[in-house]
């Protein structure tokens, strides 16, 4: 889900040639799914399900692969889900925000939020596995050239990954311009190598008929269902098509998929199948064995670069998802570094970068081979796909106004497909599927604890603060000394005084000439225009209520945005104002709205979270934090 700074939505196609946007999409959107041929075909027959490598089974598996790409990627994501946009944006956070806006029932909103958190948690798991499995599979091509490289596959893969994560700090904008052309070359190589192999054994084209996939299931039943957990590897990265819609527009992504990516992938998978029919021994690495020896070195290099691009896409996606989650208060604030002066989407989140790095290194050291990682990969993908479907059903009923019977029918069809993939990958928990399950569970507990703790904290603040009108009535009769300048107090309530104001009044016994009670809101849309961002309401005695609204993909900069208050008659210089924040010390008594261990976890997360001052780019020499204790 990486930010690229490209023009959002289909309006982008009017400002830039559609072809150029499609090329850009090749470099960002399709890196993950585009590198699946490196390992997917081999994983099906090496999965240990005792499926013999016969001509009939090869064609059956190819039919499964083809129709998985058609039904799960083309139909579900490219044509249906990409039509369900939130102001032009897609992805799990866009779908979560859109679904919550469509549903008013608090209990149903809680269920939707839970699904969104689960989907986000599994996306992080996917972001950890993708770099490990793609880079390993590319480097394993060296073994095809000579077995002498076998002992060095893991060290070389680790060296590539270390360089990749070290590179994040300086930004990847300079390299990103090459991603599209490189991936164009990659997909061309996929297509050409596949065609060359198909010419030798054209009977693999029979796999286009779905009856071969059905026959495969009828022959092997349970084993075929289990093998589906490996077939799911061909759709890894499908969610990226939806998530990156806002960066390139649905037309560009559809064009790239239908005219370049899908044909190249199908030709290459069919080419690998043709090679296996010709030489079953090629199963040890059917992708690289399609190439003559003299081409192996450049193809291995190209595959390594393609795997780096695929890894970069999911790393950037994790950064983008984190920023969106922070905006809607679903995770603690973290430092976000903007690595480009010209492109807002080029960001770096140090905590997420090194968390992913540690997990990727552990995966490589634990599993060593891409085939061993395949089981772990599938579960993360299928869980995310299932969450997307459940949230999409809300869109069908509430936004598109489908009849209940139509929603039920579509839901039964799509959830049957998703459920089959999820069930098949769930059987591989002991073989590596435990990793995304563990990561997803831990991250879900962190995200849900933070979200619930923030709700309780807001309720506690409002219960323990004084009402705005009674306090102003008191000030009228006993006005403290007013000093020059403007004081800005952050508050989440429209009718109560913030704690920071009360503490300043109690201890400093002064009142500024202008007092602004500032509320920051995050809308359920990706962006809020500058014209709609600021709302100013005069109260009395030079008190003003100011509301600043951001979308979940906006980049907050309060001093810049507050300068727009002049349009509403509130004239002050944000660069000279004083910003008052509450710094709460949380204490954890027994009882309360959540379990004691979760309250302690929330306390820890609150302590390590980046302060509001840094998140909203407040000048440090103008910020005053006033301490207070709150019992959760």
DSSP secondary structure of 527-567: ---HHHHEEEEE-STTEEEEEEEE-TT----HHHHHGGGGG
Q: Are residues 371 and 483 in the same domain?
A: no
Q: Could you tell me how many residues make up the chain?
A: 632
- Listing DSSP states for 446-494 in one string gives HHHHHHHHHHHHHHHHHHTS-BHHHHHHHHHHS--EEEEEEEEEE-S-S
Domain CATH number, residue 305: 1.20.1740.10
* HEC per residue, 48-116: CCCCCCCHHHHHHHHHHHHHHHHHHHHHHHHHHHHHCCECCECCHHHHHHHHHHHCCCHHHHHHHHHHH
CA distance 367 to 73: 28
Phi, psi of 485 (to 5 degrees): 115, 180
50 vs 592, more confident:
50
CA-to-CA separations, 574 to 485, 562, 622, in angstroms, rounded? 10, 6, 10
Min mean pLDDT across 10-14, 209-213, 471-475 is at 10-14
pLDDT value of residue 11: 41
Give every CB contact of residue 11 below 8 A, 6+ residues apart in sequence: 88, 249
Q: HSE-up of 472 (CA within 13 Å, CB side)?
A: 14
Q: Are residues 424 and 486 in the same domain?
A: no
pLDDT value of residue 498: 83
Last residue in a domain, options 395, 427, 452: 452
In a domain, residue 2? The reply is no
pLDDT band at 409 (very low <50, low <70, confident <90, very high): very high
In a domain, residue 3? The reply is no
Give 340-379 pLDDT, tens digit per residue. 655 555 788 999 999 999 999 999 999 888 878 877 777 8
Share of the chain above pLDDT 90, in %: 43
338 DSSP assignment: E
Q: Are residues 502 and 426 in the same domain?
A: no
Q: Are residues 330 and 396 in the same domain?
A: yes
Q: Which two tokens stand for residue 207?
A: 């796999």
Q: Are 202 and 350 in contact (CB under 8 A)?
A: no
CA-to-CA separations, 232 to 379, 433, 455, in angstroms, rounded? 9, 13, 38
pLDDT band at 14 (very low <50, low <70, confident <90, very high): very low
Beta bridge partners of residue 488, listed in sequence order? 516, 579
pLDDT band at 213 (very low <50, low <70, confident <90, very high): very high
Q: Are residues 523 and 379 in the same domain?
A: no
In a domain, residue 276? The reply is yes
* Three-state DSSP state, 627: strand
Is pLDDT above 50 for 275?
yes
In a domain, residue 584? The reply is yes
Share of the chain above pLDDT 70, in %: 91
CA distance 377 to 33: 12
In a domain, residue 4? The reply is no
Q: Are residues 539 and 419 in the same domain?
A: no
Last residue in a domain, options 452, 481, 512: 452
Q: Are residues 257 and 327 in the same domain?
A: yes
pLDDT value of residue 243: 83
Total domains present in the chain: 2
Q: Are residues 372 and 504 in the same domain?
A: no
CA distance 463 to 134: 52
pLDDT value of residue 209: 96
Q: What is the mean pLDDT of the chain?
A: 86
- Give which of 238, 246, 236, 235 is closest to 93, Cα–Cα: 246
Q: HSE-up of 103 (CA within 13 Å, CB side)?
A: 22
Query: Which of 100-104, 271-275, 340-344, 529-533 has maximum average pLDDT?
Result: 271-275
Q: Are residues 56 and 185 in the same domain?
A: yes
> Whole domain around residue 482: which residue ranges?
466-631
pLDDT band at 476 (very low <50, low <70, confident <90, very high): low
In a domain, residue 5? The reply is no
CA distance 281 to 70: 29
Give 505-538 pLDDT, tens digit per residue. 877 788 898 999 999 998 888 889 988 999 999 9
Q: Are residues 196 and 329 in the same domain?
A: yes
Last residue in a domain, options 421, 452, 483: 452
Q: Are residues 509 and 443 in the same domain?
A: no
In a domain, residue 478? The reply is yes
CA distance 262 to 277: 23
Give 302-352 pLDDT, tens digit per residue. 999 999 999 988 888 888 888 888 888 889 989 888 776 555 557 889 999
Q: Are residues 375 and 272 in the same domain?
A: yes
In a domain, residue 461? The reply is no
CA distance 66 to 52: 20
């Amino acid at each position: 889900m990486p930010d690229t700074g490209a023009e959002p939505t289909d309006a982008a196609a009017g400002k830039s040639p559609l072809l150029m946007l499609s090329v850009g999409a090749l470099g960002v959107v399709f890196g993950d799914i585009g590198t699946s041929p490196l390992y997917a075909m081999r994983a099906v027959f090496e999965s240990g399900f005792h499926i013999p490598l016969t001509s009939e089974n090869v064609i059956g598996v190819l039919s499964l692969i083809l129709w998985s790409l058609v039904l799960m990627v083309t139909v579900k994501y490219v044509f249906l889900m990409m039509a369900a946009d939130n102001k032009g944006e897609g992805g799990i956070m866009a779908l979560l925000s859109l679904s919550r806006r469509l549903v008013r029932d608090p209990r149903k909103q809680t269920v939707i939020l839970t699904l969104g958190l689960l989907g986000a948690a599994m996306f992080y798991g996917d972001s950890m596995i993708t770099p490990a499995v793609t880079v390993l599979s590319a480097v394993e091509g060296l073994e095809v050239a000579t077995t002498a490289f076998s002992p060095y596959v893991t060290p070389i893969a680790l060296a590539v990954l270390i360089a990749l994560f070290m590179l994040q700090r300086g930004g990847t904008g300079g390299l990103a311009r090459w991603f599209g052309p490189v991936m164009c070359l990659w997909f061309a190589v996929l297509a050409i190598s596949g065609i060359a192999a198909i010419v030798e054994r054209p009977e693999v084209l029979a796999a286009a008929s779905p009856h071969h996939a059905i026959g495969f299931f009828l022959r092997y039943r349970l084993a075929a269902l289990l093998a589906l957990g490996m077939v799911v590897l061909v759709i890894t990265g499908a969610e990226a098509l939806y998530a990156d819609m806002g960066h390139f527009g649905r037309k560009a992504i559809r064009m790239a998929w239908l005219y370049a990516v899908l044909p190249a992938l199908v030709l290459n998978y069919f080419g690998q199948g043709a090679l296996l029919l010709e030489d079953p021994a090629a199963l040890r690495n059917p992708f690289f064995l399609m190439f003559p020896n003299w081409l192996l070195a450049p193809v291995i290099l190209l595959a390594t670069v393609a795997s780096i691009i695929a890894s970069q896409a999911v790393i950037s996606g994790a950064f983008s998802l984190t920023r969106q989650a922070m905006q809607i208060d679903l995770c603690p604030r973290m430092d976000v570094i903007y690595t480009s002066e010209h492109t807002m989407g080029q960001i770096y989140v140090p905590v997420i970068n090194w968390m992913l790095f540690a997990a990727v290194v552990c995966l490589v050291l634990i599993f060593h081979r891409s085939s061993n990682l395949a089981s772990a990969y599938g579960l993360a993908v299928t869980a995310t796909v299932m969450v997307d479907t459940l949230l999409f059903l809300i869109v069908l009923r509430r936004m598109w106004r489908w009849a209940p019977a139509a929603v039920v029918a579509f839901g039964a069809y799509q959830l049957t497909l998703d459920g089959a993939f999820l069930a098949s990958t769930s059987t591989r928990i002991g073989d590596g599927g435990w990793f995304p399950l563990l990561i997803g569970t831990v991250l879900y507990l962190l995200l849900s604890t933070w979200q619930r703790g923030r709700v309780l904290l807001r309720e506690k603040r409002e219960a323990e603060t004084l009402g705005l009108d009674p306090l102003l009535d008191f000030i009228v009769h006993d006005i403290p000394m007013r000093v020059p300048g403007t004081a800005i107090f952050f508050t989440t309530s429209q009718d109560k005084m913030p704690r920071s104001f009360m503490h300043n009044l109690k201890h400093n016994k002064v009142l500024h000439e202008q007092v602004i009670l500032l509320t920051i809101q995050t809308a359920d849309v990706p962006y809020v225009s500058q014209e709609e961002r600021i709302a100013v309401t005069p109260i009395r005695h030079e008190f003003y209520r100011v509301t600043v609204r951001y979308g979940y993909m906006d980049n907050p900069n309060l001093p810049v945005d507050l300068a727009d208050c002049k349009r509403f008659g509130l004239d002050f210089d944000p660069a000279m104002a004083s910003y008052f924040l509450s710094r709460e010390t949380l204490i954890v008594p027994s009882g309360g709205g959540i379990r004691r261990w979760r309250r302690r976890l929330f306390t820890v997360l609150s302590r390590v979270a980046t302060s509001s001052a840094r998140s909203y780019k407040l000048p440090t020499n103008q910020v005053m934090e006033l301490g207070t204790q709150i019992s959760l």
